[in-house]
Amino acid sequence: LDCNGLRPEGDYLPDEGIDALTGKVNVFARAKPEDKLEIVKSLQRQGLVCAMTGDGVNDAPALKKANIGIAVEGSTDAARAAADIVLTEPGLSVIIDAIITARCIFARVRNYVIYRIACTLQLVLFFFLACLIFRPRNYYCWHDRDGAKISGSVFSSCNYDLALDEDDGICHDYDESSCKYPYYYPSAEYSFSLPVLGIVIIAILNDGCMLTIARDHVIPAETPQQWDLNQLRIVACVLGAVPLFSSLLLLYLGLSSADGLYPWYAVLFGKKVPNDYQNDADDRYYLPYSELIMIMYLKISISDFLTLFAARTRGLFCSRRPSLPLFGAFLIATITATLIASLAYLPDKTYPMSPISSTACAFVWAYNFFFFLVQDSLKALLYKIFAARLNPDAGKPGVKSLDDTTVLTAAQKKARALIES
């Protein structure tokens, strides 16, 4: 269309008339600088994201107004100053590369934000709720004063000398290797927490995994992207809520496996009770408090690392393979955390951590992976709901899905090959 059609009588048509033309015309000829500006304004009024290329002074107003102004190679200083992107090589194919790269960066930043929010919610709310809900002193004996008793315990009093009819002076301190079962755990006097060293180790290993998000495999979106903060918050909260619930549940299971309580599930992660206090079925197990702290350290570490795999995809975690740096960082972090939990004794004046058995480590891994599958399934379901609301016809024959696991264009196939290589 000759741009005289935009101003048949000298003055420009009303906005509605220009919008009707720009909505159906693909090519405009003999465009003046003011015509280019009007076309850009018209496209933006229709809710479209408008890009504009130019090289001269007369293109500067339209370059400035466009959502994305692109100054081509050899353009004037005025065009470069007005543009958002300046091309330094001949041709327009580099624009495609720039768009694909930008959308990949956007996807990685979005994954990082979701992961960061989810992990922060899990950690902060876990320690807050653990302090608010649970009192370790209600499960573990931490002193031998008369009158103290644990509800449901086979021991009638925390004064073991009196409860067991022993001679005075027999040692029951857990920290002393020469002392006898059942034990006193001085740490149980305080609200539950991890020692500072444990939290620092989690943070360092977690940060190492986060850095590799910048090199993760992503698929560039077909359409221009923008922040949907409500969707982001909902997904991040769900990804944080599932491991938060599983952490609180495991903490309860551990606390209720204290000396004298002997629940059936203590066999999964506890230690066998000495023969003098064993029952006829030989199925009494208990969990020392310092080992409970270590179990929670390992649980929080692994669930944090697994959350990264849920945050990086819109479909199930297995729908897109991770990059080698990300997967390598995950292996290093989880193996390190597991070795610390199974071999290291971390002394602390208030919250000492003792190594746990290989059986307990395996249980924590299986427990984490089960809730990770729940977490990942809920996330995939959320994205399907969001996609259905945005595109009600999705899933019907011939209709493209809004899932990021689908490669929709040849340019995206080429980009994916380049990115993953």
Separation in Å, CA 95 to CA 225, 358, 409: 16, 54, 16
Q: How far apart are CA 302 and CA 193, in angstroms?
A: 17
Q: What would the two tokens of residue 183 be?
A: 């034990």
Each of the 421 residues of the chain gets a pLDDT tens digit; together they read 888 888 888 888 888 888 888 888 888 888 888 889 889 999 999 988 898 999 888 899 999 999 989 998 889 999 999 999 898 888 878 888 888 888 999 999 999 999 999 999 999 999 999 999 999 999 998 876 666 788 888 888 888 777 676 665 678 788 777 788 888 888 888 899 899 999 999 999 988 888 889 888 888 888 778 888 999 999 999 999 999 999 999 999 999 999 989 999 999 999 999 888 888 888 899 999 999 999 999 999 999 999 999 999 999 999 989 999 999 999 999 999 999 999 999 888 889 999 999 999 999 999 999 999 999 999 999 999 998 887 765 555 544 444 444 434 444 455 445 444 4
Residue given tokens 């990264």 in the structure block: 308
Residue given tokens 């444990």 in the structure block: 198
Q: What share of the chain is helix, strand, coil (3-state, %, to 5)?
A: 55, 5, 40
First to last CA, the chain: 44
Q: Name beta bridge partners: 85.
A: 70
Burial class (CB in 10 A: 0-12, 13-18, 19+), 176: exposed
Q: How far apart are CA 304 and CA 113, in angstroms?
A: 14
What pLDDT sits at residue 4? 84
What pLDDT sits at residue 166? 61
What pLDDT sits at residue 143? 78
Note the pTM of the prediction, 2 decimals: 0.80
Strands of 200-246, DSSP E: none
